[in-house]
Structure 1
Amino acid sequence: MTKLVVLRGNSGSGKTTTARQLQRVLGPTALLISQDVVRRKILHAPDTVGTPAIAVMAELVAWGRARGFAVIILEGILKRSVYGEFLRDLKQAWGPAIIGYFDVTFATTVKRNQTKARSFIGHS
């Protein structure tokens, strides 16, 4: 039975690092779906209501479940104003799921982002 893990939080909160490490530990039995990869790199889509990233992520989650992955990890900022309905639908469809929110201060977010190759500060 496939388990769903959703990791949400602000930029620089550690969700991507945690998701990648979880996938490393679980190996090929885990499918990692990153909101940033889907939205920014594959679709070049805005992070606004109606973004096509929602449909693509929903399809990837369904695909992983149909293929029998032991764990599907969905990670991203996944802000409630854009992804709330999608997340509620996922939770309803899956029943028990592991859903975590990385709650760090804005100061921590800024500090961590300044260590990235491309900080969000000063970029649109």
Structure 2
Amino acid sequence: MVGTGETRLVVLRGNSASGKSSVAAGLRERFGRNLALVGQDNLRRIVLRERDRPGAANIGLIDMTARYALSAGFHTVVEGILYADRYGPMLKDLVHDHRGTTRCYYLDVPLRETLVRHATKPDPALLAQVTDQHLRDWYRERDLLPDGIETVIGAGSSLHATVDRIMRETGLDGVPAIDR
């Protein structure tokens, strides 16, 4: 078992450019300190410099990092594309083992909207490195985890509305931030 009855675990999944990182940042901004962000891109690409493939080391690192943060008393957001076939078993175990409130969300954004959103990213190096063809290759329509454990949030939900919803549904809106 991991975390406490008071910790919150939020899993944010979806295709590239669906808004996962923006939602995670919005949750942290709204909540304050004591909210850990466990980002797949950071751990996989920056820490390990690893390709996303079945059985890759980042899967265990994401799991370990989330478990550590929860056990240290941090509310935790795990976010990334996190393909169901590769990351699903780890996420299922993490969700099962968490003692507190857990909510999983899938940001369901159509490919056309994904391409539009990606083009608005402010990092020219990223835009040159990640092309529309990459986004098409990576895109998986409704790559949901089994057993219906995710709430699907459509492209029509604004960033503000999505953050509000997750804060409310997880109870983070009623929990005081701890100044660490």
TM-score w.r.t. length of structure 2: 0.64
Q: Deviations over 1:7-56 (max 9, x none)?
A: 00011111110001101111111001100000001101111111111111
Over the matched positions of the two proteins, sequence identity in percent amounts to 34
The Cα shift of 1:4 comes to 0.3
How far apart, in 2, do the equivalents of 1:47 and 1:123 lie?
17
Q: Deviations over 1:88-121 (max 9, x none)?
A: 1112112651100000100011111122221321
Greater shift in the superposed pair: 50-59 or 101-110 = 50-59
Per the alignment, in what secondary structure is the counterpart of residue 91 of structure 2?
helix
2:82 maps to 1:78: yes
Indicate the RMSD between aligned Cα atoms, in angstroms. Answer: 1.5
Per the alignment, in what secondary structure is the counterpart of residue 74 of structure 1?
strand
Aligned mate of 1:54, from 51, 55, 59:
59
Partner of 1:109: 114
How far apart, in 1, do the equivalents of 2:31 and 2:47 lie?
25
TM-score w.r.t. length of structure 1: 0.92
Pairs aligned (count): 123
Where does structure 2 lack aligned partners over 5 or more consecutive residues? 1-5, 135-180
Where does structure 1 lack aligned partners over 5 or more consecutive residues? none
Aligned mate of 1:19, from 7, 21, 24:
24
How far apart, in 1, do the equivalents of 2:24 and 2:58 lie?
19
Kindly indicate whether the alpha-carbon contact (under 8 Å) linking 1:38 and 1:56 is maintained by their aligned counterparts in 2: yes
How far apart, in 2, do the equivalents of 1:49 and 1:26 lie?
34
Aligned mate of 2:131, from 102, 110, 121:
121
Kindly indicate whether the alpha-carbon contact (under 8 Å) linking 1:113 and 1:121 is maintained by their aligned counterparts in 2: no
Structure with the bigger RCO (C-alpha within 8 Å, sep 6+) is 1
